[in-house]
Amino acid sequence: MGKLVWLASYPKSGNTWARAFLHNYIAEPETPQPINELTALSAVECAAIWFDARDTRLTTEATQKRRPAVHAALTNLHDDLVFVKTHNANLALHGIPLCTPEHTAGAIVIVRDPRDIALSYSAFTGLPVDEVIAFMANANAANAPTTAQVFEFLSSWSAHVRSWAAFPHKILVRYEDLLTAPEVHFGRIIKYLGSDPAPTRLRRAMEFSTFTELAAQEATTGYRAAGPNASAPFFRNGTSGQWRSGLTAAQTAAIEAAHGEVMRKLDYMK
């Protein structure tokens, strides 16, 4: 068993929210942890710096060859567990796992209704919603490398969720449950990590990582991880059920046709 705890999610599913909560709970800062300093506790796996790939764009195969060594190096970031953000599916490419098993201790998996993801991802990327819906249904979907990060292999939303749901040493939490019963489900995360949550500490960490707090920080200082669509804030809405008014009937039907089986398992479709 390794030391890495993956903070795993499909993009725009609440990963940054979970990271902010964990930092505020574990580190117990006097004021809310700055969103641009979350890497003090949780590493971003795709960052080019880990792959010695700054100012270059590695091929998929070259990246995969370096991944096991990168993950081994990440285990040295802290003496205890090391939290690592990833949007990769828990799959293998070129015969090499995207999340190296021997360096893995567990995973905190955040899932979100794909109908809401489609709207949020569209705003984040600046791409039309229909294009995002097609991307989310593509089994080969990936984020291309840039000078700042290596590629991320997402696969389809359904395949991504299945890959992490099948991982034995994980806790799976729905974004929507964090909204409706945050004390219960953030508390589940702390219990998964091996301790009973202290009520005052838990509530303070939740308060320090609310959507309102994160959005206010972005408005004041900006957020370095904001997407390619610079006109849209990263912390855009934060609610659930946006799809009911934001998607057309045809768009909703397309998402449900592509992902209905997994959506039903997660109680997104009754």
Q: What is the pLDDT of residue 189?
A: 98
Stretch 154-163: mean pLDDT:
98
CA distance 164 to 108: 9
Beta bridge partners of 170: 107
- Is residue 54 a part of any domain in this protein? yes
**What's the structural domain count of the chain?**
1
Which token pair is 44?
A: 């971003």
CA distance 173 to 177: 7
- Is residue 270 a part of any domain in this protein? no
- Is residue 185 a part of any domain in this protein? yes
- Is residue 29 a part of any domain in this protein? yes
**Residue 181 clears pLDDT 60, i.e. is over it:** yes
Q: How far is CA 225 from CA 65, 142, 230, in A?
A: 26, 18, 11
Which token pair is 203?
A: 């509530």
For the segment 115-135, what is each residue's pLDDT rounded down to a tens digit?
999 999 998 899 999 999 999
For the segment 186-242, what is each residue's pLDDT rounded down to a tens digit?
999 999 999 999 999 999 999 999 988 988 888 888 777 766 655 566 767 778 999
> Amino acid identity, residue 163?
S
Angle between helix 211-221 and 15-27 (nearest 10)? 100
CA distance 267 to 270: 6
Stretch 123-151: mean pLDDT:
95
- Is residue 214 a part of any domain in this protein? yes
Structural domain boundaries enclosing 183? 4-113+140-229
- Is residue 238 a part of any domain in this protein? no
Q: Among the listed ranges 29-38, 66-75, 82-91, which one has the minimum average pLDDT value?
A: 29-38
Backbone angles phi, psi at 147, to 5 degrees: -70, -15
For the segment 1-55, what is each residue's pLDDT rounded down to a tens digit?
799 999 999 999 999 999 999 999 999 999 999 988 999 999 999 999 999 877 7
Q: What is the pLDDT of residue 215?
A: 86
CA distance 42 to 154: 20
Q: What is the pLDDT of residue 228?
A: 66
Domain of 150, CATH number, reads 3.40.50.300
For the segment 97-115, what is each residue's pLDDT rounded down to a tens digit?
999 999 999 999 999 999 9
Instruction: Give pTM, 2 decimals.
Output: 0.94
Q: Counting Cβ atoms within 10 Å, is residue 185 exposed (0-12), middle (13-18) or buried (19+)?
A: middle
Q: What is the pLDDT of residue 54?
A: 73
Q: What is the pLDDT of residue 147?
A: 86
Cβ atoms of residues 186 and 21 within 8 Å: yes
CA distance 110 to 17: 10
- The whole-chain average pLDDT of the chain stands at 93
- Is residue 21 a part of any domain in this protein? yes
- Is residue 171 a part of any domain in this protein? yes
Contacts of 246 (CB under 8 A, 6+ apart): 119
